[in-house]
């Protein structure tokens, strides 16, 4: 498994990261431990989670994902073998509506972030977090599939300077090592970078946004920043919730699959997304490539990607997804991918 620099942190992370948001909902604690063991045996060292997980977010399950990682760390003793990343839940003005987390105190203020970090550390059974990420912006902006920007004046938000000052304190006392942003916009990422350079705050190490064959919007405004500023992408939903595996083609709804179980996930369920996914699946099959591995290899191969976050509900799925790390797509396949992209540009933003 190859590794790439995590921004300017001095840490190197595997090109494939293990995503965990099904643990506690679709996966048991035993499943989670088995996935961690398998991923590390394949060379993965970046483990990504969030205080809000599992998804869909429910009060009854909130925090279970971090607890499963914590019990694995206690059992395995392998804390120094991983780069551990988690996230602070943002304000409940988004479609996610996680108002049950921390009693709804979700603005990125000093008090809220300190409490969030302490609770995550308890669940994770560790003394420090390698990469602490802001799960989504502390302001109204377009994210989670929202295309049009609707400015909200005079809303209750935390100044970015206050958030950065809190993160700086957390770094100084050793509870976190570095920080990143998630579901962020070009303005937001640029603002964090500007203030860090201007006022000496910690620098953004990474940005975790969606990126896949059916959602390449990151390329439009963020890819250049990621490359020039060394704030690489941690790509989530690289298989578009499994749509790019081909398992949902022609209206199929396999038992136990996420889009079968949870009607709330409409982001990747449009007719146009299905059409585009069908073309990509047929393209890969024509070249003798497993569609899931092909879709993952495309993401991992992007210049602006630091790590590709994969998730799985079975060890068989995880094993297959991990195998994508050694797959390099030919120039012919990449050219055909671009042709499909021109016909179906970003149907699942």
- Active centre residues (catalytic): 53
The strand pairing partners of 17, in sequence order, are: 309
Cβ atoms of 231 and 205 closer than 8 Å: yes
Q: Are strands 12-14 and 3-5 parallel, antiparallel or unpaired?
A: antiparallel
Cβ atoms of 329 and 298 closer than 8 Å: yes
Cβ atoms of 270 and 306 closer than 8 Å: no
Cβ atoms of 246 and 281 closer than 8 Å: yes
Q: What is the 3-state secondary structure (H, E, C) of 257-295?
A: CHHHHCCCCCCCCCHHHHHHHHHHHHHHHHCCCCHHHHH
Strand ranges inside the chain, DSSP E = 3-5, 12-14, 16-19, 46-48, 83-88, 129-134, 176-182, 204-210, 233-236, 305-310
Cα distances (angstroms) measured from residue 298 to each of 238, 305, 311: 9, 10, 16
């Amino acid at each position: 498994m190859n590794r790439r620099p995590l921004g300017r942190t001095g840490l190197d992370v595997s090109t494939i990261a293990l995503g965990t948001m099904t643990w506690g909902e679709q996966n048991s604690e035993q499943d989670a431990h088995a996935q961690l063991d398998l991923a590390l045996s394949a060379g993965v060292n970046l483990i990504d989670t969030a205080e809000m997980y599992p998804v869909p977010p429910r009060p009854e399950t909130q925090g279970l994902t971090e607890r499963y990682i914590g019990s694995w760390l206690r059992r395995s003793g392998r804390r120094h073998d991983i780069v551990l990343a988690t996230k602070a839940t943002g304000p409940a003005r988004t479609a996610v509506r996680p108002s049950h987390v921390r009693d709804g105190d979700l603005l990125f203020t000093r008090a809220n972030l300190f409490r969030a970090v302490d609770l995550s550390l308890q669940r994770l059974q560790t003394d420090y977090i390698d990469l602490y990420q802001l799960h989504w912006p502390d302001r109204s902006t377009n994210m989670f599939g929202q295309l049009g920007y609707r400015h909200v004046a005079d809303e209750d938000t935390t100044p970015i300077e206050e958030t950065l000052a809190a993160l700086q304190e957390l770094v100084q006392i050793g509870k976190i090592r570095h920080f990143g942003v998630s579901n962020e916009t070009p303005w937001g990422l640029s603002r964090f970078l500007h203030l860090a350079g201007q006022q000496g705050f910690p620098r953004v190490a990474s940005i975790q946004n969606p990126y896949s064959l059916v959602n390449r919007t990151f390329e439009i405004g963020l890819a250049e920043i990621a490359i020039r500023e060394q704030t690489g992408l941690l790509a989530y939903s690289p298989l578009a919730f499994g749509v790019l595996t081909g398992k949902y083609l022609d209206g199929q709804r396999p038992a136990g699959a996420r889009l079968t179980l949870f009607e709330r996930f409409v982001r990747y369920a449009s007719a146009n997304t299905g059409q585009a996914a069908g073309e990509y699946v047929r393209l890969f099959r024509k070249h003798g490539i497993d569609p899931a591995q092909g879709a993952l290899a495309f993401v991992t191969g992007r210049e602006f990607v630091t790590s590709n976050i994969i998730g799985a509900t079975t060890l068989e799925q995880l094993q297959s997804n991990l195998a994508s790390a050694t797959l390099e797509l030919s120039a012919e396949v990449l050219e055909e991918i671009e042709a499909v992209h021109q016909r179906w540009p970003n149907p699942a933003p």
